[in-house]
């Protein structure tokens, strides 16, 4: 789970194969879901990877899904917890299962950095600064 780079109130659910090998026939089951969503379409059970699984999940492969927005009713949302069970088969045909607990309270205190610390965020920030400086120059010439 991570906050959006552009809008910190947007929360994304991230699925990544952090192992060294291919995970086959990956299935995700919602053990405990959040009690409320802003819209029914946002429910985790409706995300493609949850509904359909993934036949081959390669190392470092990532899927990112919008989960919810924390700009309204943050105090009640920060108490929400979800548990997702991942099941998969490795290349040796061994089956594995692991539960992941996701708590929105973990995001408390994470702030937006200015300037951003990512490469793309830094480019966007610097372009905005150039735009501001150019606007000042144009205003002085008018």
Domain 2-107 has CATH 3.10.20: no
Per-residue pLDDT of the chain (142 residues; tens, 9 = 90+): 887 877 778 889 999 999 999 999 999 999 998 876 767 777 888 888 999 999 999 999 999 998 888 887 777 777 888 999 999 999 999 999 999 998 888 876 655 566 777 777 788 888 989 999 999 988 888 7
The domain spans of the chain are 2-107, 112-142
The 3-class SS string of the chain reads: CEECCCCCCEEEEEEECCCCCCEEEEEEEEEECCCCCCCHHHCHHHCHHHHHCEEEECCCCEEEEEEEECCCCHHHHCCCEEEEEEEEECCCCCEEEEEEEEEHHHHCCCCCCCCCCCHHHHHHHHHHHHHHHHHHHHHHHC
């Amino acid at each position: 789970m991570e906050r959006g780079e552009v809008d910190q109130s947007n929360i994304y659910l991230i699925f990544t194969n952090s192992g060294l090998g291919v995970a086959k026939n990956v299935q995700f089951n919602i053990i405990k879901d959040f009690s409320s969503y802003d819209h029914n379409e946002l429910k985790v059970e409706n995300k493609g990877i949850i509904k359909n699984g993934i036949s081959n999940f390669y190392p470092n492969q990532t899927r990112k899904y919008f989960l919810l927005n924390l700009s309204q009713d943050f105090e009640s949302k920060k108490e929400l917890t979800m548990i997702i069970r991942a099941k998969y088969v490795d290349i040796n045909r061994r089956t594995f299962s692991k539960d992941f607990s996701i708590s929105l309270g973990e995001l408390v205190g994470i702030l937006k950095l200015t300037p951003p610390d990512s490469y793309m965020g830094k480019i966007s920030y610097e372009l905005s600064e150039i735009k501001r400086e150019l606007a000042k120059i144009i205003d002085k010439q008018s």
